[in-house]
Structure 1
Amino acid sequence: MATVQVSEAEKVYILHGIRDDLRADGRGCEDYRHMEIETDVVSNTDGSARVTLGHTAVLVGIKAEIGKPRPLVPNEGYLEFFVDCSANATPEFEGRGGEELGIELSNMLYKVFNKHCLDLRSLCISEGEHCWLLYVDVLLLQCDGNLYDAISVAVKAALFNTKIPRVHISADEDGGKEIELSDDPYDCMRVDVENVPCIVTLCKIGHRHVVDATLQEKACSVASVLVSVTHSGSVTCTRKVGGGSLDPESIFEMIEAGKRVGKSLHAPLMKLLQQEESLGKRRQKVGFLG
């Protein structure tokens, strides 16, 4: 994870500000920075999105390919995640510096985006034979803290933007199945993202916790809790990161705050994506507040 050096005087300034619910950039403890979302940005993908959260920038591209279902779930398609950390995002990602973080982010995405939030059965073409495989490629363009939240929003926006060609199955002369993809760009299948969760990261700093921490604030944090929250406020996944310890009361308060902030994040996000598509606009800007 990208880090910055913070002096003791800066730490005291940040801690005192958070104690009074006034952060260095003027936000409250449960406020997000300005978030900018742009969809349909990569021409050779079936769905894509770019999210800028403060100075953190993430690009997600989704490519749909026909594959074979997994033996244990022959009537479902599935997603494959790959996270690439650009060396331009931070010098720490040069060489193989970003590989470990990329694997960590990919593993978290597998836990969050599963069959409980996506209708994977809709990706099945013919049971046990063919299904849609969605390759989700995530590129970290710039890193200024809060990667998990930015990536989860970008993945949800890219899935919303994904258009999968309609498949027509017919019998060939030998009695087998012949698969034909529709050439009509409007004859496509969409992914239902209503239950797709967003990740809210809460960092414990002093005696309080903050949402959407910058790298400077992250340097003052003892530990963080990741909370995956659906539009209804249900928690689908939680994870503690960082070397410090958290008492049970703090964990409970952070999860409750994550549920509250996450639930308030979904409605404006979906409204934004639907408005963008209905008006045919490729770019919209919005600031989310917890």
Structure 2
Amino acid sequence: MTSISTSKAEISYIQSGLLSTPPLRADGRGLHDFRTISLETGVAPLANGSAHLNIGKNPHDGGGGTEVLAAAKLEVENVDLGGGEGVDGGRIVCTVSCSPSAYPHLSAPALDDLQHDMSTLLHQTLAHPSLHPPNLGILTGKKSWLLNLDCVVLADAGNTYDALFMAARAALWDCKVPRTRAVEYKAAAAPGAQAVESGEMDVDHDAEAQQSGFDTRSIARAVDFELPDYWDEGKVLGGRERWPVCVTLNVPPGSKGPLVHYLDAIPQEEAATPLRLLLVFSFPPASSPNLQAMRVLGSGELESDQIRDFVANGEKHAHKIWDALNGKLKEEDHRRGQKARDRFARR
């Protein structure tokens, strides 16, 4: 969504440049070229995983660009088999907030609608069962993890949806699930009985209570868990390689042929291109790519043949984004791991 005022003459000029041969863009990029992407993980100390992403930052002063902050936080949730919100095996809730300074032209109700649309798309995609991590459960039928993924759009300089999904994927990649160990509270065994199994914990008791016929502690059992005192932050989310990326295909009006589109639009280009196709792809290891979501934004029509061609080309673009983002995430893992080792060595 553009946040600037663009005249009809400027819109016509941008559209003519996009459809010319060769195509011309204001910043000199090709139709399928992205701006510079900067990424940093572990930016929120109190979160289980976090990331700060910027697309199009000015290399001279470090300002500008589309800026998104994403944080994943885990909470313990009781599993109520009678219809509560808790789900056995855990669940994911995604929320998107937009800074009013990023959209000064929008009224409060319009900003709420935009946040709702972004939250719905992100939640419906990332909370799909095909992407569900296998290690969000704690105690079967009793407790599980609730993963809250909160994303904040701090600045919008175009291509917000792609930035949103990249930041979300980085935060989920960075997310660590605390290690847990099940414990069982029960009355101590009678004298001469075998020792309790490893991992169980006995409650305090006294001899008089054990001899009393009114002792109810011997029939009451409560299962809970504890966090072992490990030096690390826990395990990564299972299946984190499957988290998807989004690619936005911008379709200039008046284009002829099924393959005319461009990527990573700036605000002026978004104002001149009312029709956009969002494609969200995941690339599971040793498996074929999955189209997790597809949405058309703006006015205009797409024919079925065009959609098939766009999906085929979108998969190629998304795979390049996925490869580049994976490279940055692995660099961040190495940087943070080396930083932690250096800090540990100084102690």
TM over 0.5: yes
Q: Name the counterpart of 2:45.
A: 43
Q: 1:210 aligned to 2:262?
A: yes
- 2:333 corresponds in structure 1 to 277
Contact 1:56 1:142 in 2 (8 A): yes
- SS for the counterpart of 1:33 is coil
The alignment partner of 2:144 has SS state of strand
- Counterpart CA distance in 2 for 1:76 and 1:218 is 41
Q: Which has the higher contact order (CA 8 A, sep 6+)?
A: 1
For 2:241, the equivalent position in structure 1 comes to 194
1:184 to 230, 234, 240: 230
SS at match of 2:183: strand
**Residue 131 to residue 29, structure 1, CA distance change in 2 (3 Å):** same
**Aligned with residue 167 of structure 1, among 180, 190, 193:** 180
Is the alpha carbon distance of 1:168 and 1:159 closer, same or farther for their aligned partners in structure 2, counting shifts above 3 Å?
same
Instruction: Quote the offset at 1:249 in angstroms.
Output: 3.1
2:196 maps to none
- Structure 1 window deviating more from structure 2 (194-203 vs 96-105): it is 96-105
Shift of 1:12: 2.6
Given the two structures, how large is their TM-score scaled by the length of structure 2?
A: 0.76
Which residue pairs with 1:287 in the alignment?
A: none
Amino acid at match of 1:106: S
Give 5+ residue unaligned stretches, structure 2. Answer: 57-64, 187-219, 340-347
Shift of 1:14: 1.4
- Structure 1 residues 63 and 199: alpha-carbon distance in aligned structure 2, compared to 1, 3 A threshold: same
Partner amino acid, structure 2, of 1:101: L
2:71 aligned partner, one-letter code: G
Q: Is the 8 A contact 2:133 2:240 kept in 1?
A: no
CA contact (8 A) 1:45 1:63 kept: yes
Shift of residue 171, structure 1, vs aligned partner: 0.4
Hey, what's the Cα distance between the residues in 2 that align with 1:92 and 1:70? 44
Return the offset for 1:236: 1.7
Secondary structure of the 2:261 match is strand
Query: Structure 1 unaligned runs (5+)?
Result: 284-290
What pairs with 1:121-136 in structure 2 (closer than 5 Å)? Answer: 121-136=134-149
Partner of 1:68: 78
The residue number in structure 2 matching 1:112 is 125
**Alpha-carbon separation, structure 2, partners of 1:83 and 1:76:** 24
| Aligned: 1:224 with 2:224 | no
How big is each residue's C-alpha offset from its partner over 1:227-260, in whole Å with a ceiling of 9 and x where there is no partner?
0112354312111111222233332232222111
Secondary structure, in 3 states, of the residue corresponding to 1:122?
Answer: coil
Residue 16 of structure 1: aligned partner: 16
Q: Percent identity?
A: 29
Q: Secondary structure at the match of 1:28?
A: coil
1:248 aligns with 2:248: no
Distance 1:37 1:187 in 2: 21
Kindly state the Cα deviation for residue 94 of structure 1 after the two structures are TM-superposed: 5.8
Alpha carbons of structure 1 residues 140 and 97: separation in structure 2 relative to 1, 3 Å: same
CA shift, 1:266, in A, is 1.1
Is this contact kept in 2: 1:117–1:195, CA < 8 A? no
Question: Which structure has more strand as a fraction of its residues?
Answer: 1
Partner of 2:319: 263
- Tell me the alpha carbon deviations over residues 139-184 of structure 1, each in whole angstroms, 9 at most, x when there is no partner: 1100112111101000100011111211111101242112112342
Number of the residue aligned with 1:288: none
Cα offset, 1:83, TM superposition? 1.1
With over 3 angstroms needed to count, the CA separation of the structure-2 counterparts of 1:281 and 1:96, relative to structure 1, is farther
Check conservation: 1:223, 1:246, Cα contact below 8 A.
no
- Distance, in Å, in 2 between the alignment partners of 1:282 and 1:268 is 21
The whole-number CA distance in structure 2 between the counterparts of 1:216 and 1:135 is 34
Quick check: 1:169–1:178 contact (8 Å CA) kept in 2?
yes
Q: 1:53 corresponds to which residue?
A: 55
- Pair 1:103–1:202, CA change in 2 (3 A): same
